[in-house]
Amino acid sequence: DPAPKQVCLHLGMFEIDKPLGKGKFGRVYLVKHRVSGFVCALKVLNKAEIIRENAEKHVRREIEVHSNLRHPGILAFYGWFHDTRRIFLLLEYAPGGELFRVLRRVGRFSERRAATCAVQVAQALNCLHSKNVMHRDIKPENILFGLHGELKVADFGYSVHAPSNRRDTLCGTLDYLPPEMLSTKAKYTKAVDQWTLGVLTYEFLVGEAPFEDTPFMTRKRIIKGDMTPLPDSVSTEAKDFVHSV
């Protein structure tokens, strides 16, 4: 529980380069550690906001879970500190930016790139699941690219980005939700993440989600399993993979 002066010391240790993105509870900045020159992402959360949103447990759990994950395919968590008003999370900086933007810009990935990305997400999910953690929110908006184009799975959490062309509805896009999460009854398991891996791979290959529609219709189509068929240009192997997860 560092005293305020240590926090100032901590903050003073960093030079703030530029804002990276805007979350619901605060902002993310690109920062450089003055002494070592180490570059990372500083996520600043506003305590008053967290209390107002009754999200203390969510933030506590995020720190607890994220600090226990070490995997090249998961955005690294380096540490945290706080002062009276704010909580600061030190995260790995992913210079390749958001997969969402890259996918929108290029339209869709080649089968090779789609396969490479799907494998990296699967390996990151394996790490999460081995620690009995479900991600539950795998989608292009939560995945970043590292320096060499490798994928970094993250969980922006409730961070509702500044209004942009994202598909966020109140609680994020419905496109990725598996049937069991739409029907309140079912208790969902890690299979939730496998389902989203299939939806994600479909979107890599096609450039849009398999059940993309109005929110009401997306719900119906997911529950019915009524997905837009993959185009003939997609190989049988790729089709088999998407249908299997």
Ligand X SMILES: O=C(O)Cn1ncc2ncnc(NCCc3cnc(NC(=O)Nc4cccc(Cl)c4)s3)c21
The residues that touch ligand X, with contacts defined as CB under 6 A, are: 20-21, 28, 41, 43, 62, 65-66, 69, 74-75, 91, 93-94, 97-98, 135, 144, 153-157, 159
- b/e sequence 84-111, b meaning 16+ C-beta within 10 Å: eebbbbbbbbbebebbbbbbeeeebbee
Please, which residues bridge with residue 33 across strands? 14
Closest approach, Cβ 27 to ligand X, in A, equals 8
Q: Which of 165, 168, 72, 86 shows the shortest CA–CA distance to 126?
A: 72
Task: Enumerate the active-site residues.
Answer: 137
Neighbours of 128 (CB within 10 A): 22
Give whichever of 120 and 159 is closer to ligand X, judged by the CB atom: 159
Position of minimal CB gap to ligand X: 21
Closest approach, Cβ 132 to ligand X, in A, equals 12
Separation in Å, CA 80 to CA 2, 44, 113, 155: 10, 10, 34, 16
Give whichever of 11 and 160 is closer to ligand X, judged by the CB atom: 160
Give whichever of 153 and 174 is closer to ligand X, judged by the CB atom: 153
Give whichever of 5 and 57 is closer to ligand X, judged by the CB atom: 57
Closest approach, Cβ 96 to ligand X, in A, equals 8
Cβ contacts of residue 116 below 8 Å, gap of 6+? Answer: none
Closest approach, Cβ 137 to ligand X, in A, equals 9
Q: Do 193 and 233 form a contact (C-beta atoms < 8 A)?
A: no
Q: Do 155 and 102 form a contact (C-beta atoms < 8 A)?
A: no
